[in-house]
Structure 1
Amino acid sequence: MSPITPPLARRLDSLQSSAIRDLLKLTARADIISLAGGLPDAELMPRDRIATAAAAALSDRSRLQYTESPGWGPLREVLAARESAALGRPVLVDEVFVTHGSQQALSLLSEVLLDPGALVVVEDPAYVGALQVFRAAGARIEAVPVDAEGMRVDALRELITRGERPAVVHTVSNFHNPGGVTLSPRRRGELAELADTHGFWIIEDDPYGELWFDQPSPVPVANYSPNVIRLSSVSKILAPTLRVGWMVAPAQVCRAVELLKQGADLCGSALTQQIAADLLTDTDWLTTHIDAVRAAYGIRAKALVGAVRHRFADRVVTTDAAGGMFVWVDFTDGTDTNALLPGALDAGVAYVPGSAFAVTTDYSHSMRLCFTTSHADVLTEAVDRLARAARV
């Protein structure tokens, strides 16, 4: 008699692998220029400075122990000071919780804030990591569109007027992934006012806010309302391998997250949290480092946008790259980016079709391009290859 295979949880029925991750498997060939990834440039990561900080942390064996579930105390103090400066108000250490990257914060929050069937409002196109988390939590997902000023808060207001009551509204407020746009100050205030009036949580997902090119990012949404939980990380400004993210949230939310984190992994890495604290407190070095990253990405972003607009002209509309890592391109001539992709790969260039980020809108005529991991001349060649594939 064959053994009976036990079933897996039904929550997996609604989940699927990220189309972006699947695409990256196809772009490993050396002859392909990938605009598909969402990775910072490893060449700009401060390897030597990280090594120095690691050596300093390892000089004391006691620092190899477990640390507190909410994060290593000195790092939380550093983050509280940084967030106080960003928000223009005091942020207490008890309001800072360190996580294994900001994605873990999003996952833990979904368990703390959402009952099965609760309504979550996301942006469309959406950050796929958020969609995976909310679907795994059994949430009901509604989407509101994004335009040049970020989330269409008027569409959210209409949704509420129709009787919908969100438990959570998720926004990538600065240099949106995948849309590349930034939520305007006016809409930040309007979004916060809706949260205060109707009693829902805003998750302000902000991994890109320090990667501005021409002018600083607007004041965070969390400055406008106590109902905002703000997420960030060092992955984009230092290195993803540190796996240091954090949330700023009311103390009762942090305590609830702590209970879940204790069951998930007890605590994060005390070693990498000490390294992150060392780098974040070396303010002169950090300023110089982030300025260098901004300068490099800014040159690449302008090269990519310029090449796309030059080669495709009025066949496309593309976002201006004012910061972050991504450019969103809409074809105006009916080009199907899913159908175009095999030819683009044959031509030696990869991108992510817009449908990978779709919630309710099709986006079959759109694509996301990442400019961070190639120099300007390589990006120009990538667009040339894309143009040949599209027969421009």
Structure 2
Amino acid sequence: MSPIVPALAGKLDGLQSSAIRDLLTLTARADIISLAGGLPDAALMPRERIAVAAQTALGDPAVLQYTESPGLPALRAVIAERESTRIGRSVPVEEVFVTHGSQQALSLLAEVLLDPGALVIVEDPAYVGALQVFRAAGARIVAVPLDGDGLRVDVLADLLAAGERPAVVHTVSNFHNPGGVTLAPERRRRLTELAEAHGFWVIEDDPYGELWFDRPAPAPVASYSPQVIRLSSVSKTLAPTLRVGWLVAPGRVCRAVELLKQGADLCGSALTHRIAADLLADTDWLTTHIDTVRTAYGARAKSLVEAVRTTFGTRVHCTDATGGMFVWADFTDDTDTTTLLPAALEAGVAYVPGAVFAVSNAYRTSMRLCFTTSDEATLTEAITRLASISR
């Protein structure tokens, strides 16, 4: 008699691996210039300063022990101080919860805020990690388009007027991934007015806010309303390997997240929390470090955009990179970027097709380009290679 094979949970039906993570495997070849992965530049990560912080932390045996589920108190205190400055109001430590990267924060929030079938509004094109989380939670996902000023809050207002009642609206407010745009201040205010009038949460996903080039990002969406839950991390400013992210939310949300995190992994790493606390508290050093990262990324972004516009002319329209890590580009001559990708890889350049980020719009002629991990000359060469196979 054949054994009866146990089943997996039905919620896995329809879930797919991140196409971007799968693409990173292909682009690991040394001959490929990758504009695909959303990776910070390892050469700009402060290895020496991290090593000093790690050595200092290891002087205390307690860093090898379990820590509190909401995070090491010293780290939460530093984050509370930094978030208070950014938001413009006092953030108590009780409203800060440290997670294993901000992706875990998003995942835990989906469990806390969403019942199966609940409506979630996302931006279109959308952050792939958010789509994975909300689909796994069994949410009904509706997309609202982006334009040059970010989320089309007027379209959201129309949906609300038509009777839609979201539980959550998710926005990557600064230097959008993948769209490269920033939510305008007046839309931030209007979004929170709608949240308070209709009783939904706003999740402000902000891993890129400190990576501005010419001028700082606008005041956070969270500065307008307590119904905004802010997410951020040190992955883009210090190093992803620390796996330190956080959420800032009302106490009742943090308490609910704590219950779920205890079931997921009990707590984070006291060692990496202590390292992150040391680096974030060293404000003079941190300011200099982030300025160095901004300067490097700003020069690379300018070179990439210039190369696209000079090489392709009117065939490709791309966003102006004012911060963050990405440029969003659209072919205007009906070039299909998914169909083009194998030839691009053969020519030694990689990007992410726009279809990966699609919710309602197919983005068949679009692509996301990441400028952080190559120097200016290499970025220009990547665009030259791309042009050579897309005529």
Calculate the TM-score normalised by the size of structure 2.
0.99
Q: Which amino acid aligns with 2:23?
A: L
User: For each residue in 1:80-108, what CA deviation from the matched residue of structure 2 results, as whole angstroms up to 9, or x when unmatched?
Assistant: 00000001110000000000000000000
Match of 1:4 in 2: 4
Q: Which amino acid aligns with 2:234?
A: V
Match of 2:200 in 1: 200
Match of 2:281 in 1: 281
Match of 2:324 in 1: 324
Q: Secondary structure at the match of 1:85?
A: helix
Shift, 1:239, TM fit:
0.1
Q: Which amino acid aligns with 1:62?
A: A
Q: Secondary structure at the match of 2:179?
A: coil
Alignment of 1:253 onto 2:241:
no
| Counterparts of residues 146-225 of structure 1 (less than 5 Å) | 146-225=146-225
Q: Secondary structure at the match of 2:97?
A: strand
Q: Which amino acid aligns with 1:189?
A: R
Shift, 1:109, TM fit:
0.2
Alignment of 1:354 onto 2:379:
no
| Counterparts of residues 48-63 of structure 1 (less than 5 Å) | 48-63=48-63
User: For each residue in 1:31-50, what CA deviation from the matched residue of structure 2 results, as whole angstroms up to 9, or x when unmatched?
Assistant: 11000000000000000000
User: 2:208 and 2:64 mapped to 1: Cα distance?
Assistant: 30
Q: Secondary structure at the match of 2:216?
A: coil
| Counterparts of residues 93-172 of structure 1 (less than 5 Å) | 93-172=93-172
Match of 2:336 in 1: 336
Shift, 1:28, TM fit:
1.7
Q: Secondary structure at the match of 2:247?
A: strand
Shift, 1:60, TM fit:
1.3
User: 2:106 and 2:47 mapped to 1: Cα distance?
Assistant: 28
User: For each residue in 1:328-364, what CA deviation from the matched residue of structure 2 results, as whole angstroms up to 9, or x when unmatched?
Assistant: 0011111110111111111110000000000000100
Match of 1:226 in 2: 226
Q: Could you tell me which runs of 5 or more consecutive residues in structure 1 were left unpaired when the two chains were aligned.
A: none
Shift, 1:63, TM fit:
2.1
Shift, 1:389, TM fit:
1.1
Q: Which amino acid aligns with 1:224?
A: Y
* Matched positions, count: 391
Q: Which amino acid aligns with 2:143?
A: A
Is contact 1:120–1:167 with CA below 8 Å preserved after alignment? yes
Alignment of 1:72 onto 2:68:
no
User: 2:6 and 2:107 mapped to 1: Cα distance?
Assistant: 26
User: 1:145 and 1:187 mapped to 2: Cα distance?
Assistant: 13
Match of 1:40 in 2: 40
Shift, 1:14, TM fit:
2.2
Aligned residues: percent identity? 76
| Counterparts of residues 357-368 of structure 1 (less than 5 Å) | 357-368=357-368
User: 1:22 and 1:280 mapped to 2: Cα distance?
Assistant: 32
Shift, 1:200, TM fit:
0.1
Q: Secondary structure at the match of 1:14?
A: coil
Superposed structure 1 runs of 4+ greater than 2 Å apart? none
Is contact 1:14–1:136 with CA below 8 Å preserved after alignment? no
Q: Could you tell me which runs of 5 or more consecutive residues in structure 2 were left unpaired when the two chains were aligned.
A: none
Calculate the TM-score normalised by the size of structure 1.
0.99
User: For each residue in 1:105-131, what CA deviation from the matched residue of structure 2 results, as whole angstroms up to 9, or x when unmatched?
Assistant: 000000000000000000000000000
Shift, 1:22, TM fit:
1.6
Q: Which amino acid aligns with 1:389?
A: I
Alignment of 1:238 onto 2:228:
no
Shift, 1:273, TM fit:
0.3
User: 2:70 and 2:341 mapped to 1: Cα distance?
Assistant: 43
Q: Which amino acid aligns with 2:124?
A: D
User: For each residue in 1:244-299, what CA deviation from the matched residue of structure 2 results, as whole angstroms up to 9, or x when unmatched?
Assistant: 00000000000000000000000000000000000001111100000000000000
Match of 2:17 in 1: 17
Q: Which amino acid aligns with 2:92?
A: L
User: 1:351 and 1:62 mapped to 2: Cα distance?
Assistant: 44
| Aligned alpha-carbon RMSD (Å) | 0.6
Q: Which amino acid aligns with 1:216?
A: P
Q: Which amino acid aligns with 2:133?
A: V
User: 2:24 and 2:12 mapped to 1: Cα distance?
Assistant: 23
User: 1:136 and 1:154 mapped to 2: Cα distance?
Assistant: 28
Is contact 1:180–1:324 with CA below 8 Å preserved after alignment? yes
User: 1:389 and 1:193 mapped to 2: Cα distance?
Assistant: 48
Q: Secondary structure at the match of 1:330?
A: strand
Shift, 1:2, TM fit:
2.5
